[in-house]
A and B are shown apart, each in its own frame.
Chain A
Amino acid sequence: MSRRRSGAELGMALAEWTLAAMLGVILLAAALTWLQGSLQMALVQRVPLQMAGDAAWLFRRLELAALQAGRGGAHPLGNDDARLAPWRMTDGSGPGTPASDQLLLRRRLEAGTLDCEGRRLAVGTDMVERYFLRADSSASGLVLACDAGFCDAAGCHDLGDAGAALLSEVDSFQVLYAAITEAALAPGYVDATSWLAQPAPPRLLALRVGLLLRSRESVARPRRWSLPADWLGHDLRSASDRQAHSAWQQTLAVPHG
């Protein structure tokens, strides 16, 4: 009777190695699937929040510009200054889907400040800021840009360039205008074409600004993104895409209109 133990009793047989390997592969595959699912779920949750943050940041900026527009007696949209005609507000002239608008805001500075391109302007200058959509090398989609300039006795300067990109992945930028009226009606919000068709430039009561955004990141599979049926007069169909889509609008008072 030998007391030496057999190999089967001491180590692992091929069947055991195979079973262990199979279990390992199954556990690894499950862990990887879970990790991928978690990352996708985090992405799906994070992307709308990022877009909401982007929209809030931009609207806060536009709200401050609207609150200041028209200060010092200048017309907030520059409608009374023929020198601004080449850069005036437009309706559906820009890129994007739906085609984007252009917004121009003007105010007379009561203190020195920096314009949206970072240039310092002196007291008493008429500061002009033009918001529009354009392509940019820094983004795959369109960017909302701000082109700043100023007007003095010699003319208007620094306007008409590409401006500074404020926000990327903007699909559309829409603006409607409400005039101060004497009629006993709540004012209508009209587009730039209707606004400019009026015989004399009315004073501005408020702006209604719309932003249609898409996410910078993509999720694994196309998803359905809920969009409003009526977005500043445009019929948006709910988008099914790997990039998230969101539509925003905000009414901005122009107290110095």
Chain B
Amino acid sequence: MDATVRHEHGLGLPEALIALALLGVALGGLLAAQWRARDLQQDAWSRHQAGWLLTDFGQRMALNPGAREQYLDGLRAGPAGSPPPGACARLACPPGERARADVAFLAAEVRRVLSRPDWRLESCLDSPGLCLSLSWSGTSPSSGPDGACLDASGARRPGAHCVTRELP
């Protein structure tokens, strides 16, 4: 009789384990949600920075129309290993050197503000011009299958870390 009474009152080991398991599941869910929110905010910030840099770069390129080919050559080389911008980014200098300095400035800034940045120059999928795709955090700056920036129609893939701008 006494044993029965003891079972009716208080918390046994199984109940405690179940409570702990439930608590663990709830905490895990909260942690996952928190991590996801952090990722989303980080991505929003990176996207803002990338869009900002491409807008400024487009403006610099438009203001130096005589050096379009030098801009394109510099962009084709990619952001890795680009030299520091140098004084020509600000001082009067030949258009070709200004183009190289502007590309170097873009490369330095994307390396500073983005994680694992990369870019690619290719024909725009939805207009006749050339587009520059800037990606970060492992996304490939191109159109293609999963892991790429754009799908075949030129729309950004869900979850892709990239921004694309048409060049002037």
Contact = CB atoms under 8 A, between A and B. Distances in A.
Interface of A: 5, 9-10, 38, 41-42, 45-46, 48-49, 52, 56, 176, 178, 181, 183-189, 205-206, 208, 226, 228, 230, 232-233, 248-253
Interface stretch (B88-96, B120-128, B147-155): B88-96
A30 to B, nearest CB: 9
Given A46-B41, A49-B45, A230-B85, A5 B112 contact: no
A253 B55 CA distance: 12
A9 B38 contact: no
B146 to A, nearest CB: 27
Nearest to A252: B59
Nearest to B60: A251
**Interface SS, B side:** helix
15 contacts: A10-B9, A38-B34, A41-B38, A45-B45, A49-B41, A52-B45, A52-B52, A56-B48, A178-B63, A185-B94, A185-B95, A187-B92, A206-B63, A251-B60, A251-B63
B109 interface: yes
B161 interface: no
A40 to B, nearest CB: 12
B137 to A, nearest CB: 15
Top 5 A-B pairs, shortest CB-CB distance: A188-B92, A186-B98, A45-B41, A251-B59, A188-B91
Contacts of A206: 59, 63
Contacts of B109: 228
Contacts of B52: 52, 56, 248, 250
Contacts of A181: 92
B82 interface: no
A206 B65 CA distance: 14
A250 B98 contact: no
A49 B48 contact: yes
Contact of B93 (A41, A49, A186): A186
Contacts of B9: 9-10
Contacts of B92: 181, 183, 185-188
Interface of B: 2, 5-6, 9, 34, 37-38, 41-42, 44-45, 48-49, 52, 55-56, 59-60, 62-64, 66-67, 85, 90-95, 97-98, 108-109, 112-113
A232 B90 CA distance: 8
Contacts of A9: 2, 5-6, 9
Contacts of A252: 59
A226 B55 CA distance: 21
Among A38, A188, A206, max chain B CB count under 10 A is at: A188
Contacts of A41: 34, 38
B104 to A, nearest CB: 11
Contact of B64 (A52, A183, A186, A228): A186
Contacts of B63: 178, 205-206, 251, 253
Given A5-B5, A184-B94, A186-B95, A226 B113 contact: yes
Given A38-B34, A250-B59, A253-B63, A189 B90 contact: yes
Contacts of B113: 226
A56 B48 CA distance: 9
B84 to A, nearest CB: 8
B50 to A, nearest CB: 11
